[in-house]
Amino acid sequence: MSIELQFQALAEDLPDKKWQAIFNHLWPGYRAWFLRSGVTGRPSYLECRKVLRTYMPELVPIWESLIELSGGGDVESRFLSLWCPPPYIAGCTQGIWFDPNKYEEPMLIRNYDFAPVLLEGNWWKTCWSGQQVLAMSDCLWGALDGMNESGLSVSLSFGGRTVSGVGFGVPLVVRYILEVAENVSEAIDILKRIPVHMSYNITLLDRSSHWATVFVNPDRPTEVVYQAATSNFQHQVEWPQHAEATHAVERLNALQHKLPYAVNSHDMIQTMLSKPLYQDKWLSGYGTLYSAVYYPMSNRAELWWPQESWAQSLDNFMEGQKQIYLKSY
């Protein structure tokens, strides 16, 4: 089988017509997902505003601007808060690579594994809160992975647990980190104080080569671990069916084995584009849709697929579109 994906790179310092056009296109699908348990099954506008002001006050002006652009509706504003959203589950593998020969700069590298029909595919360069951010969008203003001008890069992967609780959808937490944090230490502090609604693994790398992996959960304390590779479980597999279906253990073992021995960045990237790290079970919802590489020392980022790549930087960002065709093999 083969699939077709559409990616686009967009620049808009503050939310305006470009963001509004994306919202109008994607909102029907997001609305159906958000309301699948009914309007009363989601937190109220007042609760959403309160928790945003409590935990992410710097984002409130942007949230209010997005509400206005989306038409000012009650459901829209509650959705955009990403407070206690419906559960969502993905795959993903991510790691931190250091050149053993010390010729190349460190990089954060990740595979994003998810259902193709649910991919936004929007690679945004923005300046919402005073610093430039380059990030792959999710939930219209959250981020799956990204980098800011301070040299902090972040990515997320599902933590492999079925439990859900009271907290934010993690894409908005990643966005908040990219908006306000300047280094790994500040990002860790944010992750320790903001509640999340499901289990995730957050990988961090900054311009000073500091790095960490952070396990966040709705029912457990935030835990900082210095584990350079992660897939879709934390210390041990707690959802065997998901781990088996997504080859979570095999992917982690492969990445842990390769990270110390990749002779250069291209070698490492090609490993991410090869099985078992690269997955082609797109119809099952966990095929690899893109590989992202972030170089925080030089403000560069790349998206990779088996047959092509796309390079961008915060210093020379170019808008454009890319049509990707992926085949099972």
- The strands making up 229-230's β-sheet, listed across from edge to edge, are 229-230, 93-97, 107-114, 287-295, 300-305, 308-313
42-to-18, 31, 118, 199 alpha-carbon distances in Å = 28, 12, 21, 20
d(CA 215, CA 192): 10
Low-confidence ranges of the chain (pLDDT < 50): none
- Per-residue pLDDT reduced to its tens digit, 181-208: 999 999 999 999 999 999 999 999 999 9
| 244 belongs to a structural domain | yes
Domain harbouring 306, CATH code: 3.60.60.10
Whats the size of the chain, residue-wise? 329
Give this prediction's pTM.
0.97
* Cβ atoms within 10 Å, residue 299: 21
Identify residue 100 by its one-letter amino acid code: P
Predicted pLDDT at 329 = 64
What's the half-sphere exposure (Cβ side, CA atoms, 13 Å) at 89? 17
| 303 belongs to a structural domain | yes
Structure tokens at 203: 């990988």
Q: φ, ψ for residue 39 (rounded to 5)? A: -60, -40
Predicted pLDDT at 175 = 98
Looking at the structure of the chain, the number of domains it has is: 1
Q: What share of the chain in percent tops pLDDT 70? A: 100
Q: Is the dihedral of CA 36, 70, 175, 292 positive or negative?
A: positive
| 112 belongs to a structural domain | yes
| 59 belongs to a structural domain | no
| 39 belongs to a structural domain | no
Contact 35, 78 (CB under 8 A): no
| 210 belongs to a structural domain | yes
Nearby residues of 233 by Cβ (< 8 Å), 6 or more positions away: 159, 160, 239, 243, 248, 249, 252
Predicted pLDDT at 31 = 96
| 48 belongs to a structural domain | no
| 224 belongs to a structural domain | yes
Predicted pLDDT at 218 = 98
| Residue-number span of the structural domain to which 298 is assigned | 2-13+88-327
